[in-house]
Amino acid sequence: MAEIERPQIYLITPPEFELSDFPGKLAAVLDAHEIACIRLSMATKDEDRVARAADALREVAHARDIAIAIDSHVQLVERLGLDGVHLTDGARSVRATRKELGADAIVGAYCGTSRHDGMNAGEAGADYVSFGPVTASSLGDGSVAPLDLFQWWSEMIEVPVVAEGGLNEEVIRTLSPATDFFGIGEEIWSTEDPAKALGQFIAAMS
């Protein structure tokens, strides 16, 4: 029997970090595990801070041939030499963003728990659709993306799907057969040893 491909890791930065040490932490995780893509996801709206962080993390990512996308800041993608954008307003701006950034850029859409929004984002040209949180979390409006949403999506829709928000080993074990990517961020950065914590999550996938 063919082995089912295990999901890939979509690594999300913490919302706040120090440029003096985070690039080193990120590099250690990238060197320890296979990562598909990184997302710069900062709480600050200060474009200068975002740009400095993007420059530093882009160097770490591109040195290892890993793509890096940014949350929401469509206008910074080309300016900072990033690979794409993660939109947080569902399907609403996918089409316009695709037109602006072109066919080669990564354009992803966070669609909360809405199957309808996800389908619209896919039709509008999103490279992936992200649902979550998968357990109670500060992400979104308090609703949780159920397992059957991912099961239905992986059976019916070809656009890759990301599970993110409130992940733990048990959820990862359950969701692995039904998702293409796990968006993992605070779950590992809040630990003493992010690379080790990620290793435990990856072990739970199999």
- Domain locations in the chain? 8-205
Write out pLDDT tens, residues 142-183.
789 999 999 999 999 999 999 999 999 999 999 999 999 999
Asked if 190 and 15 count as a contact pair (C-beta separation under 8 A), the reply is no
pLDDT at 3: 45
8-205 belongs to CATH 3.20.20.70:
yes
**pTM for the whole structure:** 0.95
Tokens of 58: 């882009």
Question: 137 or 17: which carries more pLDDT confidence?
Answer: 17
- Side-chain half-sphere of 35: how many Cα atoms within 13 Å? 29
Average pLDDT, integer, range 62-74: 97
Mean pLDDT, the chain, whole residue set: 95
Tell me the DSSP string of 58-111: HHHHHHTT-EEEEES-HHHHTTTT-SEEEESSTTTTHHHHHHHH-TTSEEEEE-
Asked if 143 and 113 count as a contact pair (C-beta separation under 8 A), the reply is yes
Closest CA to 94 of 128, 132, 141: 128
